[in-house]
Structure 1
């Protein structure tokens, strides 16, 4: 029989795990976007060194399993006397790994900006930095918000891997409760619901952001 009382008995633990997962997700989304923005600028830079460095970063972190990156930071770095707590490990690993995907999406979005728009801005005597800040980046962000949203939803789901480094986020908490109650079906059913809530909230926010960024183009359509 399905025992919903487990939810009531361990609600505080579930909420605590939910809060940790949400906190890590928000911090990692901000971190990965900032890293992605910096790497994107490196990729499109006129400097060959910066450009190659940016593309190398993307290729490396897109081709290493995330769990390997987490284990390297949490279990490998202590051999070099570098000790990082589980929470910081999660934020750092997610930011660095997902930053590579963000950089690739942003780079593609910037390169898709109509060249005529850029040339028109240059004809008005606008400086390169101003063109990027006022014209190119807003257009690129508008075009990339949905792909970035998909990346960030996947980021939330990937936080479950952090339970392997003793972090009691949602999945780590669920493992403990399942071991204590011997009711894995109910425990993991509620775990599914919590992840659905998190990703659904983010999906709504991404949709609202997309509508806001595209409000003028939609109005003129």
Structure 2
């Protein structure tokens, strides 16, 4: 068999649409994951045992259920009780909830890693616990969590390929259509391999650069 990628040229725009949909879904899901992760991380560090246990239950539950099962529950299960959500929204919500469980671990680790000296300095300055947390603790925790949150985003990009199972034509969904139209699945999936590898590499590189910059700024502020 001869590899002939030229047959895909007429379909590049079609595949690009799928790639853009993948990035859009992942970008929205990352925002949702970070917001949810912050709330859960705060709950897990709460002095209330019940709140802390509920937060732990959420993390433990969604980290131990296959994503495809979660996705099918939202898309195929909820309509049985009268809740209908379109495929794109379902994908974003499912990715956000699953990603939030992992994001909460990263943010919680960032919160627990903060130097006690910073907290003591804020207390001496007369800042309330709420102001200290929202203006000092949380910003620092998010900065130090950039790299693990980047891993959450990369995992989302890879996991988003499963969204094609609920009729969402993101990158993998579009590739399936092209493969069936051209009868050349080998070439289509070679390109798909390269595109996913390129996307995750670029995200990883961007996260590394952002992490270095934020760390440099933070060190300058502390010194």
With the length of structure 2 as denominator, give the TM-score of the two structures: 0.93
Compare 130-139 and 176-185 and name the one that shifted more: 130-139
Whole-angstrom CA distance in 2 between matches of 1:218 and 1:47:
33
What's the CA shift string for 1:42-98, capped at 9, x where partnerless? 111222222121111111111111000000011111111111111111000000011
Structure 1 residue runs without a partner (length 5+): none
Are 1:17 and 1:168, in contact at CA under 8 Å, matched by a contact in 2? Answer: yes
Q: 2:57 matched to 1:66?
A: no
Q: Is the 8 A contact 1:109 1:140 kept in 2?
A: yes
Deviation of residue 201 (structure 1)? 2.9
Aligned to 2:213: 212
Contact 1:6 1:187 in 2 (8 A): no
- In structure 2, the partner of 1:43 is 44
Please state how far the C-alpha of 1:207 moved relative to its aligned partner. Answer: 2.0
TM-score normalised by structure 1 residue count:
0.94
The whole-number CA distance in structure 2 between the counterparts of 1:71 and 1:138 is 35
Residue segments in structure 2 that go unaligned for 5+ positions in a row: none
How many Å separate the matches in 1 of 2:126 and 2:199? 46
Runs of at least 4 residues of structure 1 off by over 3 A? 216-221
1:167 aligns with 2:178: no
1:142 touches 1:210 (CA, 8 Å); kept in 2? Answer: yes
2:181 alignment counterpart: 180
Once the two structures are TM-superposed, the CA of residue 134 in structure 1 deviates from its matched residue by 2.5
Which piece of structure 1 moves more, 21-30 or 3-12? 3-12
Shift of 1:141: 1.8
Matched residue SS, 1:119: helix
Corresponding residue pairs, total: 221
Q: What does residue 113 of structure 2 align with?
A: 112
SS at match of 2:145: helix
Q: How large is the Cα RMSD of the aligned pairs?
A: 1.7
Q: In the TM superposition, what is the alpha-carbon distance from 1:165 to its structure 2 partner?
A: 0.7
Give the Cα separation in 1 of the matches to 2:219 and 2:127: 27
1:132 CA displacement: 1.3
Stretch moving more, 140-149 or 22-31 = 140-149
1:7–1:190 contact (8 Å) kept in structure 2: no
- Partners of 1:96 and 1:32 in 2: CA distance: 6
Confirm or deny that 1:100 pairs with 2:101.
yes
For 1:75 and 1:4, the matched residues in 2 are separated by 37
